[in-house]
Homo-oligomer: A and B are copies of this chain.
Amino acid sequence: MAIPQTNFNPPFNITRASHLVLMAHDLRASRDFYTEVIGLIVSDEDSGTIYLRGVEERGHHSLTLKKTSGEPVCECIGMHVFDEEDLDKAKFHFDRTGVPAKFVDVPFQNRTLRFSDAMGTPVELCATMQTQPRVHVAVHTHKGARALRMDHYQVLVPDVWAAAKFYMDLGFRISDYLVIAGTDHTIGTFLYRKNNPWDIVLLHRSGPCFHHCGYVVESLYDLVRGLDTAGNVGFGECIEHGPGRHGVDHSYYTYLRDPDGHRTELLLPAVQIVDRYDEPVARPLDPHSTGNRWGFPPPRSWFEEAATFASVPVRKLADEGEPLTLEKYLGTKHWRRTREPLRQSA
């Protein structure tokens, strides 16, 4: 099919992926994970909610955790628009195009518009929230991976191009999209508004489901310090995938699971992408390859587990493909053996 086209004169100005809200069973355990390992700063908290931000963030929060005794779902993902006026333009646009949208009250945020995208994903928009000082230079107070800022989120959707079109009509551009090599089957796409290649990543699977959010760290050393800290404070087995380096032109990754299983990617600063001549690039993916420059393929859990969005039904795909999981990879991997295995494992 033809790739949807970006609307370069969008009805209102979304500037970036900015925040998200996750439910958690045990706020204390989750707090430890995000402050000690990821290195987020607590901007505010009470018995039922914790507001967290990266060390360079001025916005009050990029991650909100809310206590639940039910399913640890994702309440919504959030984006910034540039101006308060953009919220009114957005409301007008959504009303006109039949997208359910209403203003809601969110602590520490100014006017906030909640809508559902083409897949049903709940998204909220705000232009401003309370601000906090950037503390990225106060390195002596930082913990773990000292994550700088929330960068993007990945959402599983049953129809990548329909979901992408929704955002491209709102001005999002595509940096890359993944197609099964030798076919025209698109299995994912990277969409952006700010000057790096992703604000929202869409992956072809049953959904909509929240797969992960990505926090940027300053260096490999910070990433590893986060992992060392994880090992030291009881989260040593929180790593689901990585460290490794993504294929195509992407960077290093490590995926961690929080106490509720919510997934966070730690990544390095990405390339800058601003110019008109940065056209969408097709990335053929060999389903029998790891897809990485180096590092194992993801384990099955990475492909199969994700959080639902609150009260949003999941449309199940009959066929989610047969990605190369770590489990399969290990079963087929053959080093040139220098001798017969000494024994057969159980």
| Chain A interfacial positions (CB closer than 8 Å to B) | 8, 15-16, 25, 36, 56, 58-59, 71-73, 80, 82-84, 127-129, 131, 134, 136-140, 143-144, 148-149, 194-196, 205-206, 209, 218-221, 224-225, 227-233, 236-237, 239-240, 243, 245, 249, 252, 257, 259-262, 268-269, 271-272, 274-278, 290, 292-296, 299-301, 303-308, 314, 316-317, 320, 322, 325-327, 330-331, 333, 335-339, 341-343, 345-346
User: How many angstroms between the C-alpha atoms of A143 and B225 in the bound complex?
Assistant: 13
With A149-B272, A232-B137, A293-B231 as contacts: A306 and B239 at CB distance below 8 Å: no
Instruction: Note all chain B residues with C-beta closer than 8 A to A128.
Output: 275-277
Whether the Cβ atoms of B335 and A261 lie closer than 8 Å is: yes
With A294-B239, A336-B260 as contacts: A245 and B228 at CB distance below 8 Å: yes
The 8 Å CB contact of A73, one of B195, B322, B338, B343, is: B338
The 8 Å CB contact of A232, one of B84, B139, B278, is: B139
User: How many angstroms between the C-alpha atoms of A230 and B129 in the bound complex?
Assistant: 33
Instruction: Note all chain B residues with C-beta closer than 8 A to A331.
Output: 327
User: How many angstroms between the C-alpha atoms of A300 and B331 in the bound complex?
Assistant: 10
Whether the Cβ atoms of A231 and B316 lie closer than 8 Å is: no
Instruction: Note all chain B residues with C-beta closer than 8 A to A261.
Output: 335-338
With A232-B140, A249-B134 as contacts: A339 and B276 at CB distance below 8 Å: no
User: How many angstroms between the C-alpha atoms of A292 and B239 in the bound complex?
Assistant: 12
The 8 Å CB contact of A338, one of B236, B308, B333, is: B308
With A327-B330, A338-B260, A339-B308 as contacts: A232 and B293 at CB distance below 8 Å: yes
User: How many angstroms between the C-alpha atoms of A306 and B305 in the bound complex?
Assistant: 36
Whether the Cβ atoms of A307 and B221 lie closer than 8 Å is: no
Least CB distance, A346 to chain B, in whole angstroms: 7
User: How many angstroms between the C-alpha atoms of A212 and B80 in the bound complex?
Assistant: 34
Q: Which residue of B lies closest to A235 (CB)?
A: B294
Least CB distance, A207 to chain B, in whole angstroms: 9
Whether the Cβ atoms of B275 and A58 lie closer than 8 Å is: yes
Majority secondary structure of chain A interface residues (helix, strand, loop or mixed): loop
Least CB distance, A248 to chain B, in whole angstroms: 8
User: How many angstroms between the C-alpha atoms of A29 and B219 in the bound complex?
Assistant: 32
Instruction: Note all chain B residues with C-beta closer than 8 A to A296.
Output: 239
Closest 10 interchain pairs by CB?
Answer: A231-B293, A307-B338, A221-B221, A231-B294, A140-B229, A304-B341, A261-B336, A261-B335, A269-B269, A195-B195
User: How many angstroms between the C-alpha atoms of A310 and B129 in the bound complex?
Assistant: 47
With A275-B80, A330-B327, A338-B306 as contacts: A233 and B140 at CB distance below 8 Å: yes
Least CB distance, A152 to chain B, in whole angstroms: 12
Whether the Cβ atoms of B236 and A305 lie closer than 8 Å is: no
A to B CB contacts below 8 Å, 25 in the list = A8-B83, A15-B274, A36-B140, A82-B276, A136-B249, A137-B245, A139-B228, A149-B271, A218-B268, A231-B245, A236-B290, A239-B295, A261-B336, A299-B330, A301-B335, A303-B345, A304-B343, A305-B338, A305-B341, A306-B338, A307-B338, A314-B342, A316-B342, A320-B342, A327-B331
User: How many angstroms between the C-alpha atoms of A219 and B220 in the bound complex?
Assistant: 9
User: How many angstroms between the C-alpha atoms of A58 and B272 in the bound complex?
Assistant: 10
